[in-house]
Amino acid sequence: MRNGAQFRVAGHPKADHLRTVRPVWPLGPGRPEKTARPGRVVCSAHHTIATGWTDFGAFHLMRAEMLAWARQCPDVQFVFMPHPALLPFPDSDASPISRADFDGWMRDWTALPNTAVLSEEGYGPILAASDLMVTAGLSMLVEYQLLTKLVIFFERDGHRPFNAIGEQVVRGVHSVRTVDDARRLAEKLLAGGPDPLADRQRDNVRRLFGTADSTERILRVLRRGIASEGGEPDAPGRADPPHGPHRLDRRLAM
């Protein structure tokens, strides 16, 4: 076991992409052109809604209130962004929500004129065009801070504790326990209020990703690592584990 010694904080090309991506919003203006545009909220849902894993997912706890918020605020636009693994999860015996309930919620959500649904694949332009995010974690707690925008963290009771990096990350987010609290925070920002955690977000991004392009930093770390091991490739079983698009999930919680 290397106990994480093989990892180096060097940034990631995905961070570079998110900081430079062109904003695109999937919903129309919804108002006459001469009036202010609607507020834009991204609702990111993690897939760990069962009990006994990381226990961050909270869609089953939030869904009714999020739908009510969208119905009651036609002057705000909402994009629901489920983790890809959440979509099939209601078919599991471990799911706290049935397939019928999940599909019914999706029908009610998409029937509203001020809502949309987006897979997490290719979500960068949507994040760049949005005003704020409501999320139960995990990687979005980090990724959205790259844009220096308000992150509202719906924190589910009993989730796996954060590790040191996770504790650093959550200094830049607003933790709430109810959708009503999330809504009040969102309304303040959408009314023009500043985010008091913006400076903490900038510090998090600087610490975790740096300020310049990550490519050269990554290559520099690789060169040093190869040199320190005498130029020999890693032995079988010592290679870093592969990480999918949600690699940060494993870096934030213990």
Residue 154 lies in a domain: yes
The pLDDT, as a whole number, for residue 19 is 80
The pLDDT, as a whole number, for residue 241 is 35
Query: Is it the case that residue 31 has pLDDT exceeding 60?
Result: no
Residue 213 lies in a domain: no
Residue 223 lies in a domain: no
Tens-place pLDDT, residues 86-95: 999 999 999 9
Query: Is it the case that residue 3 has pLDDT exceeding 70?
Result: no
Residue 21 lies in a domain: no
User: Of the given ranges (118-122, 164-168, 232-236), which has the lowest mean pLDDT?
Assistant: 232-236
Residue 160 lies in a domain: yes
CATH number at residue 173: 3.40.50.2000
Query: Is it the case that residue 152 has pLDDT exceeding 60?
Result: yes
Residue 147 lies in a domain: yes
Q: Is residue 46 helix, strand or coil?
A: coil
Cα 186 versus chain centre, distance: 16
Q: Structural domain of residue 76, as residue ranges?
A: 37-208
User: Of the given ranges (39-53, 79-93, 152-166, 210-224), which has the lowest mean pLDDT?
Assistant: 210-224
The pLDDT, as a whole number, for residue 253 is 76
Looking at residue 224, its amino acid is: R
Residue 11 lies in a domain: no
The pLDDT, as a whole number, for residue 209 is 84
Query: Is it the case that residue 140 has pLDDT exceeding 60?
Result: yes
Tens-place pLDDT, residues 32-67: 555 678 999 999 999 999 999 999 999 999 999 999
Residue 222 lies in a domain: no
Through-space distance between the first and last CA atoms of the chain, rounded to whole angstroms: 16
Global pTM value: 0.81
Q: Is beta strand 150-154 parallel, antiparallel or unpaired with respect to 76-82?
A: unpaired
Give the model's confidence band at 224: pLDDT under 50 very low, under 70 low, under 90 confident, else very high. Answer: confident
Rg (CA), the chain: 19
CB 254 within 8 A of CB 161: yes
Give the C-alpha separation, 35 to 91, whole Å.
44
Number of domains in the chain: 1
